[in-house]
């Protein structure tokens, strides 16, 4: 596996070791378990004894966070993902409470759970999704009512990976029905619920398209009695607890398709180099080479996205955008790569005698779990736009005296003092020339006119009443955008002002 220049020595060493162990020990176990649909207990023990579960747990609690961190977690997940479905219990344990316990747990809670997780003695699961709360996770209905030193939990969760095989469940429950709490996301509480809690049962194990041998469950909570001592953070702080680990967790989830892609590529290339058709190797056919090229650039980009996000996380930086992009790109690329690898392998690709069809099935599911890729796009749109906003403002532009077309001005021109509503109308008419078909925002107008909000509002309302401007109001009814009407354009400037006929147009065609 290729190193990144910013990896420390321990991470490089881990990458070498993880690759060797995966090739020699984990892949044989993982492939066998996936074929037999068995949970890969033996493989988990191999990973546990090498400390992989503790990659993000501080040394004080038996882990290697200071040396390996989120980057190390991604390294071992990338490798484990090459070994059947071995990476899934590992990643679920990594996202099933570690960050929340570290960030929001008390010292007692840290001592109680972290060392055992680091040793691989406790497997984790995330109990978040419910039958009626999927992407809209704030709609959680599983409720907890406090009774002395316990919460009594009633409800259902679904789609929990490792739902039957886990020891601790990072669970989010509703502790308030007050609309004002829900409006502020203060209606949820985070609980670590342990296997063996009376009232917690597995309701159903899903027969999924993939994850062969890995249990994915519905959980039922029937008066489940959970000690208050298992609550992470304050009551009502569940949303914040959930968010506290989200970015690093998403980066970890994004590293799993890296291993899938590497396996798919290596089987595709093996075929292309050894299969002869039409007196040539299928790998000599340009369209197959293009497929491999696409697989390579996708893998390269996916690894860059992941390990950049992991590096930022290890520096203590929050990575909402980077992690969401990595999750989106890597899972889409995982599926695309598996499909194209199968195509390169022809009929062999769709047999279960090679792991690529399984990778394709798993990769499809990865577009849905840990937040669907549509939800990732929503996050990327919101966060990405926020980040980019300072660079998105277009420069002030005016009609150039010589060229008669809109040109960037560089420095903004001094704002004109306003004597009345006509000045606002003229600015809107000029904007018709500079930004044809676009309204002006209030900020746009105020960049050109020295006018108070109150006066501008008054002028625009007067102009609207006279039919000279058209206004667009926001949901609260405030004026958000304005433009001149045709009548307003005619009143503001003579027709000649709006005319623009390029020199190449034959004058006799223009009337
Ligand atoms: C294999 C697998 C493993 C999983 N493991 C776990 C686990 O361990 N723990 C756990 O708690 N959950 C787990 N999940 C649940 C997973 O997180 C949810 O399936 C996911 O969040 C989507 O919820 P949903 O299935 O209810 O789909 P819905 O929320 O009903 O969405 C249906 C479709 O509508 C789209 N959609 C929904 N809202 C919007 C929106 N606002 N804008 C645009 N599109 C939207 C979605 O993208 C999707 O395409 C797992 C799921 C799968 C498939």
pLDDT tens digits along 430-487:
999 999 999 999 999 999 999 999 999 999 999 999 999 999 999 999 999 999 999 9
User: What is the distance between the alpha carbons of residues 116 and 96, in angstroms, rounded to a whole number?
Assistant: 14
- R_g of the chain computed on alpha carbons: 30
Residue nearest to atom 50 of ligand 1 (CA): 369
Instruction: Collect all residues with Cβ–Cβ distance below 8 Å to 472 and sequence separation of at least 6.
Output: 439, 479, 480, 481, 482
pLDDT score recorded for residue 411: 86
> In 189-281, where does DSSP find H-type helix?
238-244, 246-274
Strands 416-417 and 449-450, how do they pair? Answer: parallel
pLDDT at 413 (0 to 100): 86
pLDDT of the residue at 248: 94
Q: How far apart are the first and last CA of the chain?
A: 70
Q: Which two tokens stand for residue 95?
A: 């996202």
Residue with the nearest Cα to atom 6 of ligand 1? 160
Note the pLDDT tens digit of each residue in 41-77.
Answer: 999 999 999 999 999 999 999 999 999 999 999 999 9
Q: Which of 394, 405, 498 is nearest to 447 (CA)?
A: 394
- What per-residue confidence (pLDDT) applies to 2? 86
Mutate to test the pocket of ligand 1, among 125, 126, 130, 135 (most ligand atoms within 8 A of CB): 135
Beta bridge partners of 221: 155, 200
Kindly name the residue from 130, 249, 263, 430 that is annotated as catalytic.
249
pLDDT at 129 > cutoff 90: yes
**Does residue 396 carry a pLDDT above 90?**
no
- Of ligand 1's atoms, which has the minimum distance to the CA of residue 208? 1
Q: Which residue has the tokens 């420390």?
A: 8
Residue 412: the pLDDT is 84
**Cβ of 490 below 6 Å from ligand 1:** no
Angle between helices 356-366 and 246-274 (to 10 degrees): 150
Residue bearing the CA closest to ligand 1, atom 16: 369
- pLDDT tens readout for residues 314-343: 999 999 999 999 999 999 999 999 999 999
Ligand 1 site-directed mutation target among 123, 138, 159, most atoms within 8 Å of CB: 159
Question: For residue 253, what pLDDT is reported?
Answer: 97
Provide the pLDDT confidence category of residue 7 given band limits of 50, 70 and 90.
Answer: very high
Among residues of the chain, what percentage have pLDDT more than 70? 100
pLDDT in tens, 254-278: 999 999 999 999 999 999 999 999 9
Element (H, E) at 239: helix 238-244
Ligand 1 geometric centre to CA of 136 (Å)? 9
Summarize pLDDT for 196-246 with one digit per residue, the tens: 999 999 999 999 999 999 999 999 999 999 999 999 999 999 999 999 999
Evaluate: CB of 201 within 6 angstroms of ligand 1: no
Ligand 1 proximity of 375 Cβ (cutoff 6 Å): yes
The answer to whether the CB of 216 is under 6 A from ligand 1 is: yes
State the distance from the centre of ligand 1 to the C-alpha of 376, rounded, in angstroms: 11
Would you say residue 361 has pLDDT above 90? Answer: yes
Largest CA distance in the chain: 92
C-alpha of residue 367 to centroid of ligand 1, in Å:
9
320 close to 380: Cβ distance less than 8 angstroms? no
Over pLDDT 90: what percentage of the chain?
97
Tokens 């063996």 label which residue? Answer: 196
Bridge partners (DSSP) listed for residue 81: none
Active site residue 336: no
Answer whether 71 contacts ligand 1 (Cβ < 6 A): no
Whether pLDDT at 94 is above 90:
yes
What are 135-193's pLDDT values in tens digits? 999 999 999 999 999 999 999 999 999 999 999 999 999 999 999 999 999 999 999 99
Nearest alpha carbon, ligand 1 atom 12: 129
Q: Please, what are the domains in the chain?
A: 1-121 (1.10.540.10), 124-242 (2.40.110.10), 245-392 (1.20.140.10), 397-509 (1.10.10.10)
Mean pLDDT of the chain: 97
Binding site membership of 135 for ligand 1 (Cβ less than 6 Å): yes
Q: What is the pLDDT of residue 229?
A: 98
d(CA 277, CA 325) in angstroms, rounded, equals 40
Name the CA dihedral angle for 131, 134, 138, 143, rounded to a multiple of 10 degrees.
20
CB 104 within 8 A of CB 53: no
């Amino acid at each position: 596996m290729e190193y990144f220049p910013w990896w420390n020595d321990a991470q490089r060493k881990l990458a070498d070791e993880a690759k060797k162990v995966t090739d020699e020990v984990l892949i044989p176990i993982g492939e066998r378990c996936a074929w037999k649909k068995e949970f890969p207990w033996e493989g988990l023990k191999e990973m546990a004894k090498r400390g992989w579960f503790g990659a993000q747990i501080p040394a004080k609690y038996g882990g290697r966070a200071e040396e390996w961190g989120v980057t190390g977690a991604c390294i071992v997940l990338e490798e484990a993902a090459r070994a059947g479905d071995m990476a899934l219990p590992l990643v679920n344990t990594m996202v099933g409470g570690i960050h929340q316990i570290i960030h929001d747990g008390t010292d007692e809670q840290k001592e109680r759970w972290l060392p055992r997780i680091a040793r691989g003695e406790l497997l984790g699961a995330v109990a978040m999704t419910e039958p009626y709360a999927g992407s809209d996770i704030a709609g959680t209905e599983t409720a907890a009512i406090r009774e002395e030193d316990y919460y009594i939990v009633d409800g259902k969760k679904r789609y929990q990976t490792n739902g039957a095989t886990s020891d601790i469940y990072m669970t989010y429950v509703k502790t308030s029905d007050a609309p004002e709490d829900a409006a502020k996301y203060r209606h949820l509480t985070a609980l670590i619920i342990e296997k063996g809690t009376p009232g917690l049962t597995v309701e159903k194990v899903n027969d999924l398209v993939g994850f062969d041998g890995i249990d994915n469950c519905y959980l039922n909570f029937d008066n489940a009695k959970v000690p208050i001592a298992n609550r992470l953070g304050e009551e009502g702080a569940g949303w914040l607890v959930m968010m506290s680990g989200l970015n690093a967790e998403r980066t970890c989830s994004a590293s799993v398709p890296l291993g899938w892609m590497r396996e798919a590529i290596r089987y595709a290339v093996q075929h292309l180099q050894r299969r002869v058709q039409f007196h040539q190797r299928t790998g000599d056919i340009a369209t197959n080479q293009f497929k491999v090229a696409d697989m390579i650039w996708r893998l390269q980009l996916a690894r860059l996205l992941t390990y950049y996000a992991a590096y930022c996380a290890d520096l203590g930086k929050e990575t909402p955008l980077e992690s969401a992009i990595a999750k989106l790109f890597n899972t889409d690329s995982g599926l695309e790569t598996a499909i194209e690898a199968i195509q390169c392998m022809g009929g062999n690709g769709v047999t279960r005698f090679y792991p690529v069809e399984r990778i394709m099935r798993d990769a499809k599911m990865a577009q849905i779990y840990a937040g669907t890729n549509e939800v990732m796009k929503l996050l990327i749109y919101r966060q990405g736009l926020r980040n980019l906003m300072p660079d998105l403002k277009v420069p002030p532009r005016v009609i150039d005296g010589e060229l008669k077309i809109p040109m960037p001005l560089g420095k903004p021109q001094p704002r004109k003092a306003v004597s009345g509503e006509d000045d606002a109308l003229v600015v809107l008419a000029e904007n018709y020339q500079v930004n044809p078909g676009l309204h002006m925002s209030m900020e746009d107008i105020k960049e050109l006119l020295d006018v108070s909000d109150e006066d501008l509002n008054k002028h625009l309302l007067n102009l609207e009443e006279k039919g000279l401007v058209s206004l667009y109001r926001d949901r609260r009814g405030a004026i958000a955008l304005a433009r001149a009407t045709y009548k307003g354009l005619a009143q503001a400037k003579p027709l000649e002002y709006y005319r623009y006929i390029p020199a190449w147009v034959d004058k006799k065609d223009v009337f």
